[in-house]
Amino acid sequence: GQQLNQSPQSMFIQEGEDVSMNCTSSSIFNTWLWYKQDPGEGPVLLIALYKAGELTSNGRLTAQFGITRKDSFLNISASIPSDVGIYFCAGQTRNAGNNRKLIWGLGTSLAVNP
Amino acid sequence: EAQVTQNPRYLITVTGKKLTVTCSQNMNHEYMSWYRQDPGLGLRQIYYSMNVEVTDKGDVPEGYKVSRKEKRNFPLILESPSPNQTSLYFCASGFEGNSNQPQHFGDGTRLSIL
């Protein structure tokens, strides 16, 4: 079945550093979504990407829809302690029944040292 | 405040005792969905609903039932819970009925089936 490889699995960085994470797949997607999950809470949608090559920002976060449609990247600039959490990517495609299916990565756990 | 509300937040119960987890959203969203989150397996979709009276199976629907009699509510029913349904469950909603893209998640329900 379709799979997403999200990397790195975890990161431990110093406050102020930039962060980069990505999701790759052998399948083509027509939408990429990035979420953040804080401990004890549900995921929060950060950025949605709908076109190959699209680059979208949300504050210090920037995400890109890969030109091959098989990957996406999320960058966080000048990290702060509240960036701590688990970041998930999700790619959407249509299955054989023309239903939209969302495939999830396993997450990148980010720890920030103040 | 826009929110997805799940109840209960925590439940410990025994095998075979029917239970219902309620989910309600106040954003007039067409789309609602249930996920379970397990270590190493990420988020997996159980069922989703594109609109009232329309429900579809996700990736792991076995052992679960749902109903969508009104737009705001999407309860998850475990008719005969088993220990392998011990998990963290999330309800989600989105404004676009046919997108299958969760935009708002509840804070989760942690179920333990003994």
Q: Which pLDDT tens digit goes with each residue over A3-27?
A: 799 999 999 999 999 999 999 999 9
Q: How far is A66 from chain B (nearest CA, A)?
A: 19
Quote the pLDDT of residue B99: 74
Counting one residue from chain A and one from chain B, the pairs whose CB atoms sit within 8 A come to: 46
pLDDT in tens, B12-37: 999 999 999 999 999 999 999 999 99
Helix (H, G, I), strand (E, B) or coil at B60: coil
Tell if the CB–CB gap between A45 and B99 is shorter than 8 Å: no
Residue A104: its chain B contacts at CB < 8 A? 42-44
Tell if the CB–CB gap between B101 and A88 is shorter than 8 Å: no
Report, as ranges of residue numbers, the positions in chain A whose pLDDT lies below 70: 1-2, 95-99
pLDDT in tens, B39-97: 989 899 999 999 999 999 999 999 999 999 999 999 999 999 999 999 999 999 998 76
Quote the pLDDT of residue B103: 85
Cβ A99 vs Cβ A88: under 8 Å: no
Cβ atoms within 10 Å, residue B70: 10
Q: Does A91 touch chain B (CB under 8 A)?
A: no
Identify the closest residue of chain B to A9 by CA–CA distance.
B40
Confidence of residue B98 (pLDDT cuts 50, 70, 90): low
Report d(CA A82, CA A80) in Å as an integer.
6
Tokens of A96: 């054989």
Cβ B43 vs Cβ B59: under 8 Å: no
Q: Does B101 touch chain A (CB under 8 A)?
A: yes
Q: Does B92 touch chain A (CB under 8 A)?
A: yes
Report d(CA A48, CA A75) in Å as an integer.
14
Tell if the CB–CB gap between B42 and A107 is shorter than 8 Å: yes
**Angle at the Cα of A99 from the Cα atoms of B107 and A9, rounded to 5 degrees:** 50
Quote the pLDDT of residue B97: 62
Quote the pLDDT of residue B100: 77
C-alpha count within 13 angstroms, C-beta hemisphere, residue B77: 8
Tell if the CB–CB gap between A104 and B108 is shorter than 8 Å: no
Quote the pLDDT of residue A66: 96
Mean pLDDT of chain A: 92
Q: Does A104 touch chain B (CB under 8 A)?
A: yes
Residue A41 has its nearest CB partner, among B99, B100, B107, at: B107
